[in-house]
Amino acid sequence: MKKKTRPVIVVGSDHAGLGLKKYLSSLLEKKGYRVEDVGTHSRASVDYPDFAEKVGREVAGHRGKRGVLACGTGIGASIAANKIPGIRAGLANTPRAARLSREHNNTNVLVLEGRPYRKEKTRAILNSWLGAEFNGGRHRRRINKIARLEKKFRLNPDIHKHK
């Protein structure tokens, strides 16, 4: 029987999510995942969109990769990552939300709040996300609609302007 290959996990954060990113990286490595850390690597103030872009580019460009992002609340990193075509980033504050984000939305980037975070809760959220698989079915139809929206607005950026 062929052993299932674990995806590469690309991790990134701003300064507010740095501690969480380090903790998550250690958890992922203990589980046998290969972790690619795109930064930040210090507590100096940086901008979360820069790291959301780095994670998003790596994940969107490679089928075998997933991403984990952290910023202060997780909201900004979610917004920024979801601007990248092919990224379906989900902010999860519970294990249930993380699981459903994979099962229903086929998220390829998990976003977590870096301030504050509790190790036990964060570990449960990460494990739930890692252990879930996309359900397909009616959810596939919805993911396809999201992809069409992405393409529509990428090809015609003026579509949102009032006529």
Tell me which residues are annotated as active site.
Answer: 71, 104
Tokens standing for residue 96? 């249930």
Burial class (CB in 10 A: 0-12, 13-18, 19+), 92: buried
Tokens standing for residue 98? 């993380």
CA distance 128 to 147: 25
CA distance 11 to 114: 13
